[in-house]
Each structure stands twice: as C-alpha cells, then as structure tokens.
C-alpha cells in the first residue's frame, strides 16, 4: 500500500487486505484479556448472550456505517466528518465525531498500553521458565507481585508505547500488513492449542456451562451497558479507527460480506479465549470474577503443564502483545492525524500523543497499587441480619479502606462497599459512554442524512432486502438501543 505523509491516501490491494487491517485493529486485548474477565465479573452466559446480540444488531450495522463514511471521503476521520457534514447538510455537531473519537482513542490508549505491558512482562517471565509446573497460588502471587511493583509496570508501559510510537511516526503500517498476515493466524493456532489443553481439563464442562448457560437473573443494568460498550470496544467502533481503515478500502468491494467476516473473526477469537480460560478457572478452584488479572492468573497454569509450554507460552504472550500493538496503532492514529491536521509534523504529533498517553497511563498503573483504595462512584449497601438491604448510599469519592473500617458494623448492619478505581472510571467513560455515543452519531448520520441512493451506491450490497434491513438497523435499532441502555445505566 502506498502511503504519503498523512498516510491516508493509499488503497488496499484487495478486500482481504482491508479485512486483515480491520482484524488487526479489532483483535487485541479486548478479545483475550477483557472479554473473559468482564464475562467472569458479570456472571457468564446471560452476559455473553447480550454481548452477541449487541454485536449482531448494533456492532455490525454501525461498523458498516463507519467504513462507508471512511470510504466515501477517503480522508482522516476528522476531515471526513467535516467534509461529509457539509456535503449532506447535517448539523455541524456531527463533525465533532472526529475529535471526540480522537480523545476517546487517546484515553483508551493510556490504559491499553499498561495492560499490553503486562503481556510483555509475561513474555519475558515465560522464557525464563518462571511458570514451569506452577500452582494456581503461585501464578496468582506472580501476578500480585507485578501489580505491586509500579516501577516494573511503568517500564513495560513505556516500552509498549515506544513500540507503538515507532510505527506511527513512520506513517501507518507498511511492514505491519505483511507481518500481520502471518502473525494473526498464528495467534489463532496458539489459541486452538490452548483449547485442546482446556478440553482435557476436568473443568471444561463447567467452563462451557458458565459461558453459554443463560441465567437472566444474573443480568444487572451495569452488565447490559458493559456488554453493549464492549461490542464497540472489541470491534474498534465509535471513534474513527475503523473509519480511517475504510478510507483504504477498494471502491468496488462489497461492504456487507467484508464486515461480517471481520465481526465473525473477532467474535470467534473472544469465544475461544473464553473457552480456554474458564475451564482453567474451574479446574483450579479459581474465581471467575477475579477481574483484570484473570487471563494472567490462569493461562500460565496451562503453559506450566503443557509439554513445550515454555516455547508455546512465550510465543503466545508475544503474539498477544503484537495483537495489542496493531490495535494500539489504530487507537492512536485518529489523534495523531488530528494533530497533523492542526499543523504538527507527524513525528511531533506522535511524540505528543504518546507522551500524554504515557502520563495518563500512570493513573492506571497506580490504580493497581497505591491508589487501589481511592475509588469513585462508591456505593455503600448496608445489609441487616435477615439479609435485607437496609441502607444504600452513593459517594462520588471515598477511600474505601477507611470507609469500610469506619462503617464497621454500625447499626448492626454488614456493609458492602463497591467503587471504581481511576482505571475503572477511564474504562467506563470511554467504553461504555464515548464509543457508544460516537456510534450513535455515526449511525444517525448515515441513516438520516445520507440518501438511500447515496448509501446504495457506496455500499454495493448485493440484495435490496439486506440494504433495507441494514438501513433500518442504523436508523432506528442501533441509536435507540444505545441511548436506552446508556440512559438506564446512568440513572
Ligand atoms: N478492538 C481492540 C480490542 O478488542 O482489543 C481495542 C480497540 C482498538 C478499541 C481500536 C477501539 C479502537 F479504536
Ligand atoms: Na476485539
């Protein structure tokens, strides 16, 4: 692919090259790290079902809209939205999609990079044999040790951002394309090897049940908003990343089929990751709701028992780091393109964005140690002897450790104190609010301001019926679903 300084004007060699790039952006920590841990936290099957519904009814239609916009204008997301807002006479705030996306991507990058740093650290620990025949307790201790060590967390966060900045400053993805062509399939093969292992563990049936048994009573308001938000996060939607890649898509390739392929691959990787991780959880008596450490506390146990585990394990964590790297590049690209359009050179834009993401990332680093108890949106629930809720309170900020000890058992109640760390707040704000909001604006724009004719010309869908169905989804279903869920979730 040819790319000039702005990196916005090449055309992918074929439909498959676009798929590769989009999958490179989509498949990342969201599939292998985040999907399993939030599924664990929100109780399994019911959450997974809502997530799948969101992918189908909101994610895929919005993705088509986003790619269509990028392909239509063939510019950076910010310019694309400026140009098209004028062209289709939409209200000016629609052009805000571009910079809102850049900000969301930058926020996500700041914590994404910290977690990607964990995978780099684990690659290194795999090579040196730390995990050979390790017990679940010891695997937990290794992870706890990493979290308790801000200096190491910062070092790997820095290394990862450096690797990301290196590629971006040189203009997006020359070498990326060829390397991803081999590495993404290899990552998938590794997951299949792990799946083979987890099939032999005693917890497989329980893990399968946990993922796929529908228990609607486990669904909370927050579970639904998280499932919806994650469908945006995992498909890289709502912030212009996929729009930027759409700008490279050949004009004559069909939108529907291409995007279904990307969505299906992303979903497959997430489900296989879940099928690998939960059997290990149950075989070793671990907690499915263990949180962000879930993947790091489970997979090393598998590698520790597999023949050739050192090699397989090292390769696996390196490949996850590479998948995270190609996703992070697409996270930063809209912000960098924005800065370039504001007159920065590409190198200065990259350094600025990465440096700011580095600083903000320190907040995520601290969320796992020094600031662990500094929490926001803290709910306090007092439960009486009969197990009934007798008292409820919400505080914007609290030191939860102090709060727990001052509450003690006042009034004969036992208290549950639950809040969000800095990392949780950033994650919630971006994934559950900014990305869905960006997605709503994108679907409203394509659904209500572009004519059916203009859409049909651009989308090149084979069947009129599919076109109508899709248009209905982005005019009504996606915006209403998202607004309803966000509204309910915030109340
Ligand atoms: N889709 C990526 C993942 O699942 O890891 C994360 C991501 C990349 C989100 C790019 C948003 C984005 F624009
Ligand atoms: Na993903």
* CATH code for the domain in which residue 42 is found: 1.20.1740.10
Distance 146 CA to ligand 1 centre (A): 24
Query: Which domain does 246 fall in, by range?
Result: 15-368+421-490
Ligand 1 atom at minimum distance from 101 CA: 13
Q: Is the CB of 176 under 6 A from ligand 1?
A: no
Using CA atoms, how far residue 169 sits from 52, 114, 156, 162, 349, in Å, is 36, 20, 20, 10, 8
Backbone phi and psi for residue 44, each to the nearest 5 degrees, phi listed first: 95, -135
Q: Is the CB of 95 under 6 A from ligand 1?
A: no
Ligand 1 atom at minimum distance from 29 CA: 5
Establish if 7 belongs to a structural domain: no
Establish if 9 belongs to a structural domain: no
The reported pLDDT for the residue numbered 7 is 42
Establish if 219 belongs to a structural domain: yes
Q: Is the CB of 327 under 6 A from ligand 1?
A: yes
Q: Which helix (DSSP H) or strand (DSSP E) does residue 385 occupy?
A: none
Pocket test for ligand 1, best of 59, 77, 102, 108 (most atoms within 8 A of CB): 108
Establish if 20 belongs to a structural domain: yes
Q: Whose CA is nearest to atom 7 of ligand 1?
A: 236
Domain match, 292 and 410 both:
no
Distance 411 CA to ligand 2 centre (A): 47
Establish if 5 belongs to a structural domain: no
Total domain count for the chain?
A: 2
Domain match, 433 and 400 both:
no
d(CA 173, CA 279): 37
CA 430 to chain centre: 10
Mean pLDDT value across residues 450-472: 91
d(CA 149, CA 156): 11
The reported pLDDT for the residue numbered 490 is 76
Using 50, 70 and 90 to split pLDDT, how confident is the model at 460? confident
Domain match, 204 and 246 both:
yes
Establish if 1 belongs to a structural domain: no
The reported pLDDT for the residue numbered 248 is 76
Ligand 1 atom at minimum distance from 241 CA: 13
Q: Is the CB of 113 under 6 A from ligand 1?
A: no
d(CA 44, CA 294): 14
Using 50, 70 and 90 to split pLDDT, how confident is the model at 157? very high
Q: Tell me which DSSP letter residue 415 carries.
A: E
Using CA atoms, how far residue 413 sits from 141, 207, 408, 418, in Å, is 33, 35, 8, 16
Cβ burial 301-338 (10 Å sphere, 16+ → b, else e): bbbbbbeebbebbbbbbbbbbbbbbbbbbbbbbbbbbb
User: Which residue, among 262, 245, 431, 249, has the nearest Cα to 337 in the 3D structure?
Assistant: 245
Using 50, 70 and 90 to split pLDDT, how confident is the model at 416? very high
Establish if 3 belongs to a structural domain: no
103 and 336 Cβ atoms separated by less than 8 Å:
no
> H helices of 74-149, where?
77-87, 96-127, 136-147
Is the pLDDT reported for residue 329 higher than 70? Answer: yes
Q: Bridge-partner residues for 255, per DSSP?
A: none
The reported pLDDT for the residue numbered 99 is 87
Is the pLDDT reported for residue 485 higher than 50? Answer: yes
Backbone phi and psi for residue 390, each to the nearest 5 degrees, phi listed first: -110, -10
Domain match, 132 and 168 both:
yes
Q: Whose CA is nearest to atom 9 of ligand 1?
A: 236
Q: Is the CB of 330 under 6 A from ligand 1?
A: yes
d(CA 258, CA 252): 12
369 and 147 Cβ atoms separated by less than 8 Å:
yes
Provide the whole-model pTM: 0.94
Using 50, 70 and 90 to split pLDDT, how confident is the model at 463? confident
Q: Is the CB of 25 under 6 A from ligand 1?
A: yes
84 and 72 Cβ atoms separated by less than 8 Å:
yes
Using 50, 70 and 90 to split pLDDT, how confident is the model at 321? very high
Distance 401 CA to ligand 1 centre (A): 33
Establish if 118 belongs to a structural domain: yes
pLDDT tens-digit readout, 184-223: 889 999 999 999 999 999 999 999 999 999 999 889 999 9
Domain match, 263 and 386 both:
no
Pairing of strands 414-420, 389-399: unpaired
Instruction: Quote the percentage of the chain above a pLDDT of 90.
Output: 79
d(CA 393, CA 41): 22
d(CA 150, CA 153): 5
DSSP string for residues in 417-469: EEEE-HHHHHHIIIIIIIHHHHHHHHHHIIIIIS-HHHHHHHH--S-HHHHHH
Mean pLDDT value across residues 236-261: 89
Averaged pLDDT of the chain:
92
Q: Tell me which DSSP letter residue 27 carries.
A: S
User: Which residue, among 481, 486, 424, 446, has the nearest Cα to 59 in the 3D structure?
Assistant: 481
Domain match, 158 and 136 both:
yes
Q: Is the CB of 164 under 6 A from ligand 1?
A: no
pLDDT tens-digit readout, 36-92: 999 999 999 999 999 999 999 999 999 999 999 999 988 888 889 999 999 999 999
Mean pLDDT value across residues 94-112: 94
Report the chain's terminal Cα–Cα distance, integer Å: 47
Among 418, 447, 479, which residue terminates a domain? 418
Q: Bridge-partner residues for 376, per DSSP?
A: 397, 420
Distance 205 CA to ligand 2 centre (A): 25
Distance 417 CA to ligand 1 centre (A): 31
Ligand found nearest the CA of 267: 2
Cβ burial 105-114 (10 Å sphere, 16+ → b, else e): bbbbbbbbbb
């Amino acid at each position: 692919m040819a790319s000039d300084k702005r990196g916005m004007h090449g055309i992918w060699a074929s439909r498959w090259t676009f798929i590769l790039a989009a999958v490179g952006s989509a498949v990342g920590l969201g599939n292998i790290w985040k999907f399993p841990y939030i599924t664990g936290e929100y109780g399994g099957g019911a959450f997974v079902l809502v997530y799948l519904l969101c992918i189908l009814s909101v994610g895929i239609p919005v993705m088509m809209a986003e790619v269509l916009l990028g392909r239509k204008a063939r510019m950076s997301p910010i310019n694309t939205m400026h140009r098209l807002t004028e062209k289709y006479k939409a209200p000016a705030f629609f052009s805000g999609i571009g910079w809102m996306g850049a900000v969301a991507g930058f926020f996500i990058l700041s914590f994404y990079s910290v977690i990607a740093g964990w995978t780099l650290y684990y690659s290194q620990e795999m090579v040196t044999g730390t995990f050979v025949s390790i017990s679940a307790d010891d695997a937990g201790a290794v992870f706890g040790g990493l979290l308790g060590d801000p200096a190491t967390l910062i070092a790997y966060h820095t290394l990862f951002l450096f690797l990301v900045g290196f590629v971006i400053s040189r203009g997006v993805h020359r070498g990326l394309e060829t390397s991803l062509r081999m590495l993404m399939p290899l990552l998938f093969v590794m997951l299949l090897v792990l799946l083979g292992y987890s099939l032999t563990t005693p917890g497989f049936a329980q893990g399968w049940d946990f993922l796929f048994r529908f228990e609607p009573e486990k669904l909370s308001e927050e579970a639904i908003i998280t499932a919806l938000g994650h469908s945006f996060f995992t498909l890289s939607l709502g912030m212009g990343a996929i729009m930027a890649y759409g700008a490279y898509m050949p004009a004559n390739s069909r939108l529907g089929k291409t995007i279904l392929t990307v969505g299906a691959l992303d979903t497959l990787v997430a489900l296989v990751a879940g099928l690998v991780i939960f059997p290990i959880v149950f075989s070793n008596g671990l907690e499915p709701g263990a949180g962000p450490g879930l993947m790091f506390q489970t997979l090393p146990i598998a590698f520790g028992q597999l023949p050739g585990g050192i090699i397989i394990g090292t390769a696996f964590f390196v490949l996850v780091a590479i998948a995270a790297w190609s996703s992070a590049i697409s996270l930063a690209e809209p912000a960098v393109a924005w800065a370039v359009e504001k007159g920065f050179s590409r190198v200065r834009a990259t350094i600025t964005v990465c440096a700011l993401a580095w600083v903000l990332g320190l907040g995520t680093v601290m969320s796992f140690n020094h600031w662990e108890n500094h929490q926001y949106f803290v709910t306090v629930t007092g439960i009486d002897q009969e197990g009934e809720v007798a008292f409820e309170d919400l505080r914007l900020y609290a030191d939860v450790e102090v709060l727990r000890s001052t509450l003690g058992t006042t009034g004969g109640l036992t208290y549950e104190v639950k809040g969000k760390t800095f990392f949780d707040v950033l994650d919630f704000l971006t994934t559950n609010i900014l990305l869905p909001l960006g997605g709503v604006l994108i679907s409203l724009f394509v659904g209500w301001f572009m004519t059916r004719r203009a859409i049909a010309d651009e989308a090149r869908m084979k069947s009129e019926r599919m076109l109508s169905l899709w248009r209905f989804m982005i005019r009504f279903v996606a915006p209403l679903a998202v607004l309803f869920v966000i509204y309910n979730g915030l109340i």
